Amino acid sequence: MRKVFDGNMYNGHELNTSCKGHQGYYSEILDYIKILLDDMINRHSSVFFVRFDLRYPAGSSPMYPDNNDLVSRFSETFMLYCNRHGYDPKYIWVRELSKTGQIHYHFMLLLNGNIIQNAHQLIVGYATNLWQKYLRIEDGKGLVHLCDSKEKDYLYDDKYGGVKIKRKDPHFQQIREKCYQVASYLAKCYSKVGLPPHVKGFGRSGTS
C-alpha cells in the first residue's frame, strides 16, 4: 500500500469523508473494492453487501501474534462455510491499530443476494463463534460487530444487517454508489501505521 489519494471523489465515486479520511486513502484498496463489487454485480442479479469488524478482547493484543495468521485462518474457514451454503462470497479486510494499541480488522463482505437475505445469524452467530474459537476464548460476544449506517439515504436496513444491490431496482445506481462510499472507509490511511515488517495491511478474495 504505497499510493495515497487525497480527495473526496475517486474515479467518479464519492468517498467516505469522515474526519478519519483527512489523511487520504490507499488507491490500491479503493481499486479492489470496485473490482469486487463489479465482479459480484456481474455474477448475480442481487448482491448482499455487509460491513463487519473483528476485534480482540480489550487489552489482549500481547497474547496474540502480531501477524495476520488468525484473521487469515478465520477468513478461510468463514468463506468455506459461505461457499457451502451457496453464498459465493467475496471479501476484503484491512488491518488497523487503535490509539490504545489494539489491532482490529474491518471487512467488506459481498454475498449472493438471491440466496441470503439476512446477515445477523451469519455474522453475529457463526462468525462470532468462529472468531472466539481461533482466539481460544469461551465468550466472544461483541468481538464481531455487524456495522450499520445512520445515514438515512443509505437504504441500510438494520433488520437485515446489510444492503441488497439489485440490478432491476430503480435505485440500483444510487445503492451501488452508496455501498462503495461506505466500503471506502476501509481504504483510509488513518490508523494503518505501525505494521510489523512483512505483515500485510489488507487481504482479499480473488475474482472469477
Average pLDDT of the segment spanning 135-161: 76
Q: What is the pLDDT of residue 61?
A: 65
The better pLDDT of the pair 138, 98 is held by 138
Q: Which of 6-10, 115-119, 156-160, 181-185 has the lowest mean pLDDT?
A: 156-160
Reference 52, options 129, 149, 167, 136; nearest CA is 149
Reference 110, options 68, 163, 172; nearest CA is 163
The better pLDDT of the pair 78, 97 is held by 78
Average pLDDT of the segment spanning 81-110: 93
What does R_g of the chain's alpha carbons equal in angstroms? 16
> pTM (2 decimals)?
0.93
Q: Report the alpha-carbon angle 127-133-138, nearest 5.
A: 105
Q: Do residues 204 and 39 lie in contact, with contact meaning Cβ atoms separated by under 8 Å?
A: no
* 112 pLDDT higher than 60: yes
Average pLDDT of the segment spanning 116-138: 94
Domain boundaries, the chain: 4-204
Residues 63 and 195: their CA atoms lie apart, in Å, by 17
The better pLDDT of the pair 61, 24 is held by 24
DSSP 137-183: -S--TTSEEE-----GGG--BTTTTBEEEETTSTTHHHHHHHHHHHH
Q: What is the pLDDT of residue 27?
A: 95
Q: How many CB atoms lie within 10 A of CB 116?
A: 22
Reference 203, options 108, 133, 118; nearest CA is 108
Q: What is the pLDDT of residue 152?
A: 45
* 197 pLDDT higher than 80: no
* 150 pLDDT higher than 60: no
Q: What is the pLDDT of residue 172?
A: 94
